[in-house]
Structures are given as structure tokens and as C-alpha cells.
Amino acid sequence: MSRASVLARGRAAAEAGMVDACIIRRITGQVTDPDTGEVTTTYTTIYEGKCRLQQQGQQARPEQAGEAYLLMLRRELQLPMSVTGLRTEDEVTMTASAYDPDLPGRVFLVRDLFGKTEATARRVQVEEVTS
């Protein structure tokens, strides 16, 4: 069995475990409505599809922002290796979850990128800000 075939099998197995779905998008700018003055952020979609969100056993990190008390929750987002071009600060919105009904609608920001020659999944560190 070749190294490439073992890697392909590993990637297929990793993707089979990706039973959640997400949209990853990047801010491209802002548009101001000339009549109301309302500013709307514009985005481009980087990826939409299957994923897997994992808790890494880390504790939430408290942070003080002005008078607000925030908990910064880190997770690992696993994506197919075909997902490329991610950047820190990209926004991840969970759109579906087979086993956790609390996940859809939650929003995370990409904080750390991961690369590896023979990875079976693209693993990205994301952070959710909660109050």
C-alpha cells in the first residue's frame, strides 16, 4: 500500500466524521446607505460545507473589554484538506450539527492556522467570544 493511498484513506475517514456544516466568510468592506446612513459590512464566502468542531479541553480565557466581561472560548475546526486560502480573522458560522443542537448559529473567528504535509484534515483554531 502506497503512502498516497494511505493518506487518501485517512482523508476520506476524516471527512466521514465531519457531520456538521459551516460557512466561512471574509470581510471585504463596508457599504453606507446614502438615505439612512446605515453602514453594512460586506463579505465574500471562502467555504461552505462540511466540518467538525472539537473542544480541545482548554478552559475559557476571561477578558475585560471596557466594562464588559467576556469569555474567549477556543475550539478546533476541522475541514476537508481541499479548503484553502483561509486567513486569521475569517468568520465561521456554524449552520448545522448532527449531534449538538446548540451549535447552529454560533459564530467563531479564525485565530490560528495549521499546516502539515500529510494531514488528514485542515485543522484551524477558532475562538468564540461570549459575554
Beta strands in 13-106 (DSSP E): 20-32, 39-54, 61-65, 68-79, 91-97
Question: Longest C-alpha distance within the chain, in Å?
Answer: 65
Q: What is the rounded average pLDDT for all residues in the chain?
A: 90
The amino acid sitting at 45 is T
Strands 68-79 and 20-32: unpaired
- List, for the chain, all residue ranges whose pLDDT scores fall below the cut of 70: 57-72, 129, 131
CA-to-CA distance for 78 and 81, rounded, in angstroms? 9
Total structural domains in the chain?
1
Distance from chain centroid for Cα 112: 10
- State the pTM of this model: 0.83
* Boundaries of domain holding 95: 3-130
Domain of residue 104, CATH code = 2.40.10.270
**Mind listing the pLDDT tens digit for each residue in 93-111?**
999 999 999 999 999 999 9
